[in-house]
Every structure is written in C-alpha cells, then in structure tokens.
Amino acid sequence: MFDISFSELLLIAVVALIVLGPERLPKVARTVGHLMGRAQRYMNDVKSDIQREMDLEEINKLKNQMQDAANSVRSSVNDSVNTIKDPLSEAQQALSDLHKPLDTPTEPVAAEKKAALPDTAEAAQPASTATPDNANKAKE
C-alpha cells in the first residue's frame, strides 16, 4: 500500500518501543491494528460499491442491447410475416374468385340473358309441358 520495506518497519518498531515504552506499546499496537482493519474494511466496502455500480451499469447496457436486439428481431419477423401475408391474401382472393360459380354473371350480363332466355326456351321446348315423367312415357 505505502511500499514500506521490512527494514523500515523494524526501525519504526524500535523507535515506538523507545518512545512509548514496553508497557504502553502492546496497547498502542492493538489500537493501530484495529484502526488499520477498519480502514481496510472501509476501502474494501468502497471498492465493492464501485464494482457493484460498474456491474450495474454494464448490466443495464447489456439489458438495453438485448432489448434493442429483441425489437429488431421482432420487427424483422413482422416484416417477414407481412411479406408472406400479402401474396397469401392475394392468392386467397384469387382462389375465392375461382370458386365463384361461372353461371352467375355480373348484373348487366344477367339482365341480357334474362331477356334472351324466353326466346331460346320457347324454341328449345315444344308448346306442351314436358316433365321427366312425361318424357319417359312418350319414349315408351
């Protein structure tokens, strides 16, 4: 921490023994030890708080990156679904148009066919009413 060598520590211990004396030196050493322990715990607490804040910041950055990635994936999936859905709906519309009966024309053509039907119907059928039963009897 302070880069003190063993010889310097030994010199400090000898000076403390001479100044404080052998009776007070153990008590002072214990007090200094407790103070140094508290200082180390305080420094460790500060380091861990700073580390937690840095980790929290990194986690928030990672969380934001993951949310951005999820949003981009979601939008690309939605785009893909839309590109598939549009041709599919057009194909469904085309199939539904094909399934419409061919003999149900649009209204102007239907009006023309109605007008033309009585002439062709009279020409195709004799004046007598022909039912399937009557037609079978006539053949016999």
- pTM value is 0.41
Structure tokens at 86: 């549009």
Residues 49/58, Cβ–Cβ less than 8 Å:
no
In this predicted model, what pLDDT tens digit does every residue of 88-140 receive, in sequence order? 888 888 888 877 765 555 555 555 555 555 554 444 555 455 555 555 555 55
In this predicted model, what pLDDT tens digit does every residue of 23-55 receive, in sequence order? 998 999 899 999 999 999 999 999 999 999 999
Using a CB cutoff of 8 Å and minimum separation of 24, what contacts does 129-136 make?
none
